Homo-oligomer: A and B are copies of this chain.
Amino acid sequence: MSPMDSAAARDRALDAAEELYYARGVSCVGMDELRGTSGLSLKRLYQLFPAKEQLVAAYLARRDERWRGRLAARVARQPEARERIPAVFDWLEEWFGEPGFRGCAWINVHGELGATSELVAEQVRAHKEAFRDYLDTLVAEADLPAALTGPLFLLAEGAMVTAGITGSTRPAAEAREAARTLVAAAGRDGLSRPAPTA
């Protein structure tokens, strides 16, 4: 049990937290169940995270890193800059179809704890801002007007929340088509056009 194991214990704790909190909501999962799933003792859990709120925040932070990493990796497979924007919605569609998908973890946790825990609310705002910034770089790389970022972000958020409520992957396809239309309309204005298309 060298200090190296402390990192492994942290991972186990966060694995259990992610599995249980995402599936059933934070307040439905007690520390006892977390102890059982992680295999860690309550004492160890509390020396890693001094309170449940911090464990929730750490779970959200690690999930944020992984979520944006998976998205970026999937989108980066698309060489054409302007095609990377629809690729965002392709990835959303794959995500919505995964077994156990229950909507956006940050939207859900904001509904649950946003009014109660400022620490959690801040994690949610940070995650959404990072996602929006990422979309913004895609828009810039495609030489499209920056005003496109907002609408694309709203389409993605709407798709996440709707897929979470209805359990369908269809919102991703609808959002992708709408995004294509908006991109085409923005490209049609003389505002910021890349090299001529045809």
Contact = CB atoms under 8 A, between A and B. Distances in A.
A41 interface: no
A28 B116 CA distance: 8
A115 B150 contact: no
A107 B161 contact: yes
Interface of A: 23-25, 27-28, 102-103, 107-116, 124-125, 128, 147, 150-151, 153-159, 161-162, 164-166, 170-171, 174-175, 177-178, 181-182, 184-185
Nearest to A167: B125
Q: How many copies does the complex hold?
A: 2
B174 A181 contact: no
Contacts of A110: 103, 108, 111, 164-165
Given A27-B27, A111-B108, A162 B154 contact: yes
Contact of A111 (B109, B128, B157, B177): B109
A171 to B, nearest CB: 6
Given A165-B124, A181-B182, A115 B157 contact: no
B150 A171 contact: yes
